[in-house]
Structure 1
Amino acid sequence: MTQDNTYNLSQQTVEFGYNSLSLEDVVAIAKGATAKLNQTTEYRSYIQKGALFIDSLLKEEGVVYGVTTGYGDSCTVTVGLDLVHELPLHLTRFHGCGMGEILSPMQARAVMACRLSSLAVGKSGVTFELLERIETLLNLNITPVIPEEGSVGASGDLTPLSYLAAVLIGERDVIYQGERRPTSQVYQELNIVPLKLRPKEGLALMNGTAVMTALACLAYDRAQYMARLASRITAMASLTLKGNSNHFDDILFAAKPHPGQNQIAAWIREDLNHHIHPRNSDRLQDRYSIRCAPHVIGVLQDALPFMRQFIETELNSANDNPIVDGEGEHILHGGHFYGGHIAFAMDAMKNAVANIADLIDRQMALVMDQKFNNGLPANLSGAQGRRKAINHGFKAVQIGVSAWTAEALKNTMPASVFSRSTECHNQDKVSMGTISARDCMRVLQLTEQVAAAALLAMSQGIRLRIAQEELVESSITPSLANTLAQVEADFELLTEDRPLEQTLRSTVDKIQNGYWEVCG
């Protein structure tokens, strides 16, 4: 991903404590907002009660999973009281086996925010000092190096979260000031004393859904933007093809009142100045990729509310095991680390987003082909005269769009149904939530690439219509005119073939940073 190219610390502050966090709060932290713990004596005391209750059980030689026992299937192994303080250290170390790509600093910050949110609920038996250390690392912009592979989504994101736990105790690597460095070095430089994890704190840090939830928050932010951007691209495609804006009429959509679908239709209708120029060609019905665009994009738009509810509930939950009720003095053994809700939301989101990639791919195919584009040059080339014979416009870009779309569609296989029995059949039904979230991020990346190509192509198509005097520039709505101006600032009309890779990459960066001013 390329979102970190414009990364910088912001002035926004997000408070952790009694209040619930929103998706937007996590995104803000990911992009550099300041984290602030509730500093009231009441809240500090509330958090400390869980840790004190664990201490009291140890004095009474009580049996607590992961505190006086081994982990997972080793829960029948008793750990002597002389060893319980070493147990969290071993948990962090034997899980240090992550593989694959490294989460970006932005993604790692989101993970830290999600873990802090869960621990701040006060049901994990950790000290206030532990919460403060995560707050400090966020505000100093010290992020753990976290490999993205190795979690089956129950018992939570154990292996990737072990990298956060390891950093708290001064081990492994961090990203600091843009460089990957040993944590111990950075701590020494900044006079930070490594934490010594208390009983239950290793488990509390690692036994939860923070990685999948963090990726889900970031994915949601990008997906809702994609719904708006795809609506704008569809309006541009309709203009390029001399389409029929009656397909987006408000009376028509009142007959099928899915609210998200109707919102998409409204955005397209407004972009097309529908009531002034309802029809630009003699074609009664445009092809499905134009006419049915609100129905395709609308699935995502209508699904966003339930996805938000799933993700935000997970975000604001205590999702480790066991749950420590310090006030009522209960230890409750359960399975809140199971990431099924996130897995389902991410499987659904990647499906809806990939369908948008497929929609835009079909729109691209229409505008490129002289059999379907209502009089535009082949491949949208702007070459003139004898130069037409050697210029190929967007031909290769359209092939790329097809490739990106095919890969996005391939990644829609639901991860959540591929549960694996692991860890001596203790974890015999797992969520695969982190894999689903990673799939979704990949689908979003590919779809953003498709959208970037379409922004350039549709801008070219509209400019060619104007040049052919088939479209009056003054008739274009202010919203579309603004997008065209934004594209044209970086993209000169393609008259002679030139490499477009850097322009495409720059356009993807802008999509991921919300540069294009779109409706909604």
Structure 2
Amino acid sequence: MHPADLKTTLRAVQFDRERLQIEDIVDIADGTACALLSTAPEFRAAIARGADFLDRLLLEDGAIYGVTTGYGDSCTVRIPAELVAELPHHLYTYHGCGLGQHFSPSQTRAVIATRLASLCKGYSGVSVELLEQIVRLLEHGLLPLIPSEGSVGASGDLTPLSYLAAVLCGEREVWRDGAIVPAAQALADAGITPLRLRPKEGLAIMNGTAVMTALACLAYSRAEYLTRLSTRITALASFALDGNAHHFDEMLFSVKPHAGQQGVAAWLRQDLPCDQPPRNEKRLQDRYSIRCAPHVIGVLADALPWLRASIENELNSANDNPIIDAENERVLNGGHFYGGHIAFAMDSMKNAVANLADLLDRQMALLVDSRYSNGLPANLSAVEGPRAAINHGLKALQISASAWTAEALKLTMPASVFSRSTECHNQDKVSMGTIAARDCLRVLELTEQVVAALLITVRQGAWLRSKLNPALVPEASLTAMLAELDADIGVVKEDRRLEPDLRVLLERIRTQAWTLYE
């Protein structure tokens, strides 16, 4: 089925001047929603007012930054009237210098949708035709091939967004059905006429925070799911270690009123028998990676509300320069392209997420070490008898998990403190928001790999615990989770290559396949 045919079967996200949520961008990115430009006359009139106002200023020979002047430090250079129409095309042309891996198709859809959201606020001086052209790219699955490196996060995501501007005009390359094709050919095949940009439209497309904000939306969704999944893994680890569920007592957490931390403890109480008296032979206090898990996971859980607020405020902002106030007929020069809020959100998120990796890595170290696992076999090997000598269980998996954790922790250095002065000291303080967002996604990727390793580990540990003590039965929620894991990976008996299992689990994690703590 052609992407354009899917719009009748998908949830429609309407783009107008109303507020969008992170989930709107995530759903467009993963293909479960389509973008719909509002047809409301009042919305379209508001957009047109900005473009019409700029047209009148040009006729009056008004000085407009980036329209009748050069860009950045070249703002003192006046553009001859006969060359004004060529200026936006020069802007995306000379910014075509990105490098690094290309953004994935889902990331690119998120970028396109995020830029569309900002332009629809009506303060960028663009035409309705431009907005419609952006929607056409999404409808037809024509996704600009955007290099991920080259933005300092102010004056916005200029270099990566230049690839969107160029494709709208039929230049450079696109992803189409998984293949890379010239944009001119792709637009022609879809019956789309390339745009000729109006005087401010190149600047409006490029001079904003769409790339970092799009990546932040995707990061938020993954981080929120990891808070739940890390909690479920902790419950399974506690069961496998025959831990003390009373560490998560409601009264205990009532005296430290961090709502997110309390919520994590409440989830653990759903999974563990906190209402039963502890057995006398139990260790009085479990080690920190179990006992303090709500305090670690809770940091991210408590951060999520303000992370959402920062990301969604940026998503729903007009963030280019200058801002066009058509109603009052003013051109306002400012710095809304600065991505400081996203930079701080991403630097903060990656720190909290990396701590999840570290927490789970420590839980795994307890589970595979017979000195600390309360009777489980070394490396959680299931083999007994003579063949036990040649079987090594999860020994190598624990090494890999530690490697992924170390790399995640290494990347927690905040990107936002590495501002560089660029562009003849015009951009002398920049946000580094896009680098922070890319770092955060890498930390999420590594942490998800640790999570996949822990899912194998806790599934193995819970099975072995039940063999040691058949009377110890997990709560219904854990039993259901173990059954779902069993359908994918099963128990490790004889040594086997675990990469296929890990890749299956990563797919489940990234599609958020398990329903957790509704």
TM class, shorter-length? over 0.9
Structure 1 unaligned spans of 5+: 1-6
| Distance in 2 (alpha carbons) for counterparts of 1:441 and 1:253 | 31
Contact 1:300 1:349 in 2 (8 A): yes
| Distance in 2 (alpha carbons) for counterparts of 1:484 and 1:283 | 25
| Distance in 2 (alpha carbons) for counterparts of 1:280 and 1:205 | 66
Pairing 1:432–2:432 present: yes
Identity among equivalent pairs (%)? 62
Report the equivalent of 1:465: 465
| Distance in 1 (alpha carbons) for counterparts of 2:251 and 2:350 | 31
Report the equivalent of 1:4: none
Deviation at 1:469, TM superposition (A): 2.6
| Distance in 2 (alpha carbons) for counterparts of 1:243 and 1:310 | 38
Partner AA of 1:24 in structure 2: E
1:495 aligned to which of 488, 493, 496: 493
| Distance in 2 (alpha carbons) for counterparts of 1:133 and 1:83 | 24
**What is the CA deviation profile of residues 108-161 of structure 1, one whole-angstrom value per residue up to 9, with x for unaligned ones?**
000011100000000000000100111111122211111110000000000000
Pairing 1:217–2:213 present: no
Secondary structure (helix, strand or coil) at the match of 1:460 reads helix
**What is the CA deviation profile of residues 435-468 of structure 1, one whole-angstrom value per residue up to 9, with x for unaligned ones?**
0000000000000000000011100000011122
Partner AA of 1:264 in structure 2: V
Contact 1:18 1:38 in 2 (8 A): no
Q: Count matched residues.
A: 512
Once the two structures are superposed, the pairs formed by residues 38-117 of structure 1 within 5 Å of their partners are 38-117=38-117
Contact 2:7 2:139 in 1 (8 A): no
Report the equivalent of 1:414: 414
* Aligned-residue RMSD, C-alpha: 1.4
Contact 1:10 1:34 in 2 (8 A): no
Contact 1:124 1:318 in 2 (8 A): yes
Report the equivalent of 1:24: 23
| Distance in 2 (alpha carbons) for counterparts of 1:406 and 1:320 | 38
Deviation at 1:275, TM superposition (A): 1.3
Secondary structure (helix, strand or coil) at the match of 1:204 reads helix
Contact 2:356 2:447 in 1 (8 A): yes
| Distance in 2 (alpha carbons) for counterparts of 1:76 and 1:336 | 20
Deviation at 1:281, TM superposition (A): 4.9
Deviation at 1:10, TM superposition (A): 6.1
Contact 1:401 1:450 in 2 (8 A): yes
Report the equivalent of 2:12: 13
Secondary structure (helix, strand or coil) at the match of 1:86 reads helix
| Distance in 2 (alpha carbons) for counterparts of 1:139 and 1:21 | 19
**What is the CA deviation profile of residues 220-265 of structure 1, one whole-angstrom value per residue up to 9, with x for unaligned ones?**
0000000000000000000111100000000100010100000000
| Distance in 1 (alpha carbons) for counterparts of 2:413 and 2:103 | 22
| Distance in 2 (alpha carbons) for counterparts of 1:468 and 1:264 | 29
Report the equivalent of 2:163: 163
Partner AA of 1:501 in structure 2: E
Deviation at 1:479, TM superposition (A): 1.4
**What is the CA deviation profile of residues 320-344 of structure 1, one whole-angstrom value per residue up to 9, with x for unaligned ones?**
0000011111000000000000000
Deviation at 1:38, TM superposition (A): 1.2
Secondary structure (helix, strand or coil) at the match of 1:69 reads coil
Partner AA of 1:125 in structure 2: G
Deviation at 1:506, TM superposition (A): 1.3
Contact 1:242 1:281 in 2 (8 A): no
Report the equivalent of 2:247: 247
TM-score normalised by length of structure 2 = 0.97
Go from structure 1 to structure 2 and tell me whether the alpha carbon gap of 1:225 and 1:169 turns closer, same or farther (over 3 Å shift).
same
Report the equivalent of 1:200: 200
**What is the CA deviation profile of residues 456-515 of structure 1, one whole-angstrom value per residue up to 9, with x for unaligned ones?**
11000000111223553xx32221111101111121211111110111011011101101
Report the equivalent of 1:389: 389
Contact 2:174 2:183 in 1 (8 A): yes
TM-score normalised by length of structure 1 = 0.97
| Distance in 2 (alpha carbons) for counterparts of 1:9 and 1:376 | 54
| Distance in 2 (alpha carbons) for counterparts of 1:187 and 1:143 | 11
Partner AA of 1:199 in structure 2: P
Report the equivalent of 2:474: 476
Deviation at 1:369, TM superposition (A): 0.3
Go from structure 1 to structure 2 and tell me whether the alpha carbon gap of 1:497 and 1:462 turns closer, same or farther (over 3 Å shift).
same
Go from structure 1 to structure 2 and tell me whether the alpha carbon gap of 1:448 and 1:278 turns closer, same or farther (over 3 Å shift).
farther
Report the equivalent of 2:181: 181
**What is the CA deviation profile of residues 48-86 of structure 1, one whole-angstrom value per residue up to 9, with x for unaligned ones?**
011111111110111000000110101111101100110
Once the two structures are superposed, the pairs formed by residues 240-319 of structure 1 within 5 Å of their partners are 240-276=240-276, 278=278, 281-319=281-319
Partner AA of 1:78 in structure 2: R
Report the equivalent of 1:516: 514
**What is the CA deviation profile of residues 333-376 of structure 1, one whole-angstrom value per residue up to 9, with x for unaligned ones?**
00000000000000000000000000000000000001100111
Report the equivalent of 1:485: 483
| Distance in 1 (alpha carbons) for counterparts of 2:398 and 2:187 | 50
Secondary structure (helix, strand or coil) at the match of 2:96 reads coil
Contact 2:17 2:122 in 1 (8 A): no
Contact 1:10 1:31 in 2 (8 A): no
Give the 4+ runs in structure 1 shifted more than 4 A: 7-10, 277-281
| Distance in 1 (alpha carbons) for counterparts of 2:76 and 2:241 | 69
Pairing 1:504–2:502 present: yes
Deviation at 1:37, TM superposition (A): 1.1
Contact 1:465 1:471 in 2 (8 A): no
| Distance in 2 (alpha carbons) for counterparts of 1:281 and 1:112 | 59
| Distance in 2 (alpha carbons) for counterparts of 1:504 and 1:29 | 27
Structure 2 unaligned spans of 5+: 1-5
| Distance in 1 (alpha carbons) for counterparts of 2:107 and 2:7 | 14
Report the equivalent of 2:3: none
Report the equivalent of 1:3: none
Secondary structure (helix, strand or coil) at the match of 1:417 reads coil
Go from structure 1 to structure 2 and tell me whether the alpha carbon gap of 1:395 and 1:440 turns closer, same or farther (over 3 Å shift).
same
Deviation at 1:185, TM superposition (A): 1.0
